[in-house]
Structure formats: C-alpha cells, structure tokens
Amino acid sequence: MLKKALLLAALLLPAAFAHAHEYKAGSLMIGHPWSMQLPPNAPTVAAYFTLDNKGPEADRLLSADSPIAGQAQLHQHVQAGDLMKMQPVPSVEIPAGGQVLFAPSSYHVMLLDIKDRSQLSEGQRFPLTLHFEKAGAVEVQVQVQKQATEHVH
C-alpha cells in the first residue's frame, strides 16, 4: 500500500508543480509569469506577474533580462490628462507585506529587440530573469497565452 501511495505521489507532484507556476526568492513570491501571444511581426512583447512580499522589509525590482530579447525595461502605464501612456521606470518597490501587480495597463516588463520568436506562440514558455535588490536574481518561465489572464493571488 505504501509503495502505491509513494508511486502515485511521485507521478502527481510534478504535474501539481507545473500548474502552480510560482517562484520563491527570499521573502518574495513571484506568481504566474505570463505574456500575450502577439502577431509574428510585433516589435515588442510584455511580461506580467504578481510580486508578493511576505517579509518584514521592502525589496525592489531593479531590472530584468531575457535571452529572447536584446533588452528588457521596467514600464508603467500612467494617466496623462485624457490619455494612458507607457513610461520606463528605474525600479519597482515591493513593500513589506505587500503585493505589486504586473498586468496590462499597469507595471510590466517590456522586451525589446526580439531575437527569438520561436518561444512566443501560445502554450510556449520563455525564460525571464528578474533582478531584485535583496532577493537577487531569479529566473522564471513566462507562459505565452492567447488572451489576458484573470489570475490573481
């Protein structure tokens, strides 16, 4: 009986973790990194995720990079009169005990100078490394989806 239970656990655990799509870095939880599938000629791609800080001290996302792009920038949408505009930001603070949402019309990682489009179709994943002031560098796998996610932590 124990052998069957262990075998079942060994078979099911990888599937459970594959669907979890969360990453931990120190006191930070990085939830559901995703990107939208875009036309093949789109010049840029945006990556989204949630950052939960479970610790007693703030941390800061300083930068990001990915082998599929020549450069990555931290961006934020801001209201400018009647228009929403996108602008680069030098870093993003994740307050102690707080959450920051990277989502359409909010913060996002903008990937420019796309070098490898092979990983940008629905169901594919591509690597993205996030660089934090305290938690250090964390590589996540960004899942490409056909439409925006409603995933919230």
**DSSP letter assigned to residue 7:** H
The answer to whether 146 and 138 are in contact (CB under 8 A) is: no
- Residue 111 to residue 47: CA distance in whole angstroms: 8
Domain contains 71: yes
As for how many domains the chain has, the answer is 1
The answer to whether 27 and 135 are in contact (CB under 8 A) is: yes
Read off the CATH number of the domain in which 70 is found.
2.60.40.1890
Average pLDDT score over residue span 92-114? 96
The answer on pLDDT for 3 being more than 90 is no
Domain contains 2: no
Tens digits of residue pLDDT in 16-61: 334 458 999 999 999 999 999 988 888 899 999 999 999 999 999 9
Domain contains 70: yes
Domain contains 78: yes
pTM above 0.85, yes or no: no
Domain assignment of residue 50, given as a range: 23-145
Greater pLDDT, 16 or 104: 104
Provide the pLDDT for residue 72: 97
Question: Which residue in 53, 151, 47, 31 sits closest to 104, CA to CA?
Answer: 47
Report residue 69 as tokens: 């792009």
Domain contains 15: no
Question: Which residue in 102, 103, 101, 77 sits closest to 88, CA to CA?
Answer: 77
Tens digits of residue pLDDT in 64-93: 999 999 999 999 988 888 888 899 999 999
The SS3 of residue 3 is helix
